[in-house]
Amino acid sequence: MSVSEPVRKQIVVAASRQRAFEVFTDRIDAWWPRSHHIGKSPLARAVLEARVGGRWFSLCEDGSECDIGKVLEWEPPRRVLLAWQVNADWQYDPGFVTEVEVRFVELGPRETRVELEHRNLDRYGVRESEVRNSIGSPGGWPGILQCYADLVAAAEAP
Amino acid sequence: MSANLSPIFAALADPTRRRIFERLSKRPLTVVKLAAGLPVSRPAVSQHLKVLSDSGLVSAEQCGRCRVYRIEPKAIRAARDYLDRMWDDALVAFKNLVEQESEHERQRTRP
């Protein structure tokens, strides 16, 4: 398996499709694990705004907000497509987008399969490809040195 | 999740190693195939591959009697491993909540 294959998960829940969708989206705060949080201050509330373009963010205990991503497609109760915009440095990056598709498949009146796919993970390798591209480009080695100088400067910044 | 990049740049400071890395970025190769396209001996290629492997840029996999070398997308692997665990935890927590609430709902609306 390639390391940039999507992360795929599925789970069957004893609830109607409508309810499964509502709890996943509107009530994300009630189930999102507190251990998975990007802010410096502990997570007070997780929010997913129920519309296309809606923000997905965390409210921290110190009052700050940490963006996670946004809603790309909103098709209740069948499907939602989210953008996960947390980069390899564990920071929100508006220019960085990976997709999380969540599908709700009705198995019965009180049984739903939730299928989740987190894809475009190859975008986490952009640093490697930057290195690769600058080797092949006309700028070549100077490009790499610049990249290195930027990183050293960034590492030494307070 | 960021990696220390200094050994990477040290490894790539050598022009032969840059050529090896460049060729591996297109496809995984064995030492024999790598050496065939380079003006250096096979032991020299092996030595360069060791430096590249030590820096974390390249990894090797035993494939029958040969070792196949490929570039190692470290950041992708680190991110994927984390997200894999995160979604496991998240979906289990989600299932617990949705089932608990569904059960309450069912009891409340029972005639």
Provide the pLDDT for residue B64: 79
Q: What is the dihedral of CA A27, A120, A98, A87, to 10 degrees?
A: 120
- Mean pLDDT value across residues B43-58: 87
Which residues are bridge partners to B70 per DSSP?
Answer: B59
B39 within some domain: yes
Boundaries of every domain in chain A: 7-119, 126-158
The domain covering A7-119 belongs, at the CATH homologous superfamily level, to START domain (3.30.530.20)
Which residues does B contribute to its contact with A (CB < 8 Å)?
1-2, 5, 8-9, 12, 18, 21-22, 25, 71, 73-80, 83-84, 86-99, 101-103, 105-106
Provide the pLDDT for residue B66: 81
Provide the pLDDT for residue A88: 73
B53 within some domain: yes
B99 within some domain: yes
Provide the pLDDT for residue B6: 59
CATH value at residue B48: 1.10.10.10
Phi and psi dihedrals of A48, rounded to 5?
A: -130, 110
pLDDT of B79 > 90? The answer is no
pLDDT of B43 > 70? The answer is yes
Q: Is the CB of B77 less than 8 angstroms away from the CB of A135?
A: no
Q: Which of A7, A17, A21 to mutate to test the interface with B (most CBs of B within 10 A)?
A: A7
B61 within some domain: yes
Q: Is the CB of B97 less than 8 angstroms away from the CB of A148?
A: no
Provide the pLDDT for residue A121: 85
pLDDT of B39 > 80? The answer is yes
The partner residue sitting opposite B87, judged by closest CB among A9, A128, A132, is A9
CB B78 within 8 A of CB A88: yes
pTM greater than 0.80 (yes/no): no
Q: Which of B17, B24, B76 to mutate to test the interface with A (most CBs of A within 10 A)?
A: B76
Residues B42 and B54 in one domain: yes
Provide the pLDDT for residue A138: 46
B1 within some domain: no
B103 within some domain: yes
Residues B81 and B104 in one domain: yes
Provide the pLDDT for residue B90: 95
Residues B29 and B61 in one domain: yes
Residue range(s) defining the domain that contains residue B107: 73-111
CB-CB neighbors (< 8 A) of B96 in chain A: 31
Quote the ipTM score: 0.76
In chain A, positions 49-88, which contact chain B (CB-CB < 8 Å)? Answer: 84, 88
The H or E element that residue B106 is part of is: helix B74-109
Q: Is the CB of A11 less than 8 angstroms away from the CB of B92?
A: yes
Across chain B, mean pLDDT equals 82
The partner residue sitting opposite B90, judged by closest CB among A36, A89, A136, is A36
Q: Per-residue pLDDT for chain A (158 aa), expressed as one digit of tens each? A: 456 689 999 999 999 999 999 999 999 999 998 888 777 788 899 999 999 999 999 999 999 999 999 999 999 999 999 999 988 777 898 988 999 999 999 999 999 999 999 998 878 765 555 555 544 454 454 444 444 445 545 555 55
CB B70 within 8 A of CB B59: yes
Residues B62 and B85 in one domain: no
Residues B13 and B48 in one domain: yes
